[in-house]
């Protein structure tokens, strides 16, 4: 799969894909030789002191990542594991360190297949249940629900990457419970807080898409370039990891131990042509964002089957089957049964309710501790210079001691009288 996707991208002269130099197989291994790249975006981000990129660097990355995913989708594949670790810059110290490359097609899937009738391409039928593929932190909600991943699922992962680059973390970072992550991904309030309006519109466009629908890549690109224009950025500015950039000295210090490259590709990269940012902003309306959600007639005809278990060649040649008898229907129904792995809406609501309940209990416990601390603070008086408080405490202590001594003497006299009476009775 890795070789197949890279080869197709090389045939299309993709600038965001590595060059496949050689491939082969030994007795116990297979190998690929490809272009040497620099560090991944994940490595760069964790090297930076803030664990996040500047807005300029984020836009440079996001626009190129969007273009690279479009190139993969155009050859009929979906990546299914879009994350910062699968994007890398060119070799450090060369002009290609500003160029983004997409990597790791090991779990990619072909969503466009050849049509047996005319040799063209058609949309592959979605399966009912799909094994989980991807990374929990960046995958879409549909991927977690074991649905067939389409082009928009790759773009959801890109959206989560953008949020993480800007904020430094995602709300569900570090959480391993899949049900809890689904609930947090569906609650977009925290995601949209503190980001550009165009990023929220980016997600709103993806939210109306389904497996068979093609994303409007031009619209999504314009949303990103609108922020670029409004912030008065230009392609001559330096990215964070570049010499002269925001964190150049810090990054250069951290990467000084990397292996030296004897032969470097010094081919100039014109970032203005790569980004292709227009001169003026595009006015994107909500109607345009939601328009892609309306399925066309062509898409309806392509996605009629429920699964992809039949052989593609036979499906093209087959005719309409004869009406099935009741016994045949029951057999087919039995074969189609499956165990649903998708959490129901009631289960999701219950998980969310329990989660909120735990949060409320934690808040109450926190408020209780704060009240106790405040009460203790009030009790810790500062002793005045005239020692009035000390005198008062001494008087109270004396009164308590006097009461105790009186009580003890009374008890002692009772015991003595009892002892005297017992002696008298003994004598008698």
- The residues carrying an active-site annotation are 81
Residue 366, number of CB atoms within 10 A of its CB: 10
**Structure tokens of 260?**
């030296």
Inter-residue contact 87 to 101 (CB < 8 Å): yes
For 31, phi and psi rounded to 5 degrees?
-140, 155
Q: What is the DSSP letter of 40?
A: B
Selection from 193, 231, 223 nearest residue 57 by Cα: 231
**Residue 339 Cα to chain centre, angstroms:** 27
**Structure tokens of 210?**
């389904």
For the chain, the first-to-last Cα distance in angstroms comes to: 115
**Structure tokens of 226?**
């609108």
Alpha-carbon gap, residue 155 to 138, rounded angstroms? 10
Residue holding tokens 């959600």?
A: 293
Those residues whose C-beta lies under 8 Å from the C-beta of residue 115, and which sit 6 or more positions away, are 121, 122, 316
């Amino acid at each position: 799969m890795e070789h197949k996707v890279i080869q197709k991208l090389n045939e299309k002269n993709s600038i965001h894909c590595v060059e496949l130099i050689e491939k082969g197989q030994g007795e116990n291994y297979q190998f690929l030789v490809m272009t040497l790249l620099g560090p991944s975006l994940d490595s760069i981000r964790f090297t930076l002191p803030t664990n996040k990129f500047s807005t300029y660097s984020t836009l440079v990355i996001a626009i190129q990542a969007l273009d690279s995913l479009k190139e993969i989708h155009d050859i009929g594949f979906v990546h299914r594991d879009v994350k910062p670790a699968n994007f890398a810059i060119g070799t450090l110290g060369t002009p290609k360190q500003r160029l983004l490359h997409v990597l790791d097609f090991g779990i990619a899937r072909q969503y466009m297949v050849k049509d047996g009738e005319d040799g063209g391409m058609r949309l592959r039928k979605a399966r009912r249940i799909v094994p989980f593929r991807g990374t929990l932190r960046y995958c879409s909600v549909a991927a977690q629900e074991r649905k067939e991943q389409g082009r928009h699922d790759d773009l959801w992962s890109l959206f989560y990457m953008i949020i993480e680059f800007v904020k430094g973390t995602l709300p569900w970072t570090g959480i391993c419970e899949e049900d809890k992550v689904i609930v947090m991904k569906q609650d977009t309030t925290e995601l949209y807080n503190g980001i550009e309006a165009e990023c929220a519109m980016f997600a709103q466009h993806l939210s109306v898409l389904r497996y068979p629908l093609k994303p409007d890549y031009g619209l999504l690109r314009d949303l990103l370039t609108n922020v670029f224009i409004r912030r008065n950025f230009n392609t001559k500015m330096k990215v964070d990891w570049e010499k002269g950039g925001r964190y150049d000295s810090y990054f250069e210090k951290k990467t000084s131990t990397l292996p030296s490259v004897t032969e470097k590709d010094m081919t100039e990269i014109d970032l203005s042509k790569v980004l292709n940012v227009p001169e003026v902003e595009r006015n994107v309306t909500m109607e345009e964002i939601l328009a892609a959600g309306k399925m066309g007639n062509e898409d309806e005809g392509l996605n009629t089957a429920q699964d992809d278990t039949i052989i593609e060649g036979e499906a093209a040649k087959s005719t309409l089957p004869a009406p099935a008898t009741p016994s045949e229907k029951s057999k087919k129904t039995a074969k189609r049964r499956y165990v649903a792995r998708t959490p129901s809406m009631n289960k999701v609501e219950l998980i969310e309710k329990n989660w909120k309940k735990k949060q409320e209990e934690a808040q109450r416990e926190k408020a209780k501790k704060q009240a106790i601390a405040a009460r203790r603070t009030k009790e810790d008086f500062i002793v005045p210079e005239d020692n009035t408080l000390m005198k008062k405490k001494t008087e109270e202590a004396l009164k308590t001691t006097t009461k105790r001594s009186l009580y003890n003497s009374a008890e002692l006299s009772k015991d003595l009288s009892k002892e005297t009476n017992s002696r008298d009775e003994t004598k008698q």
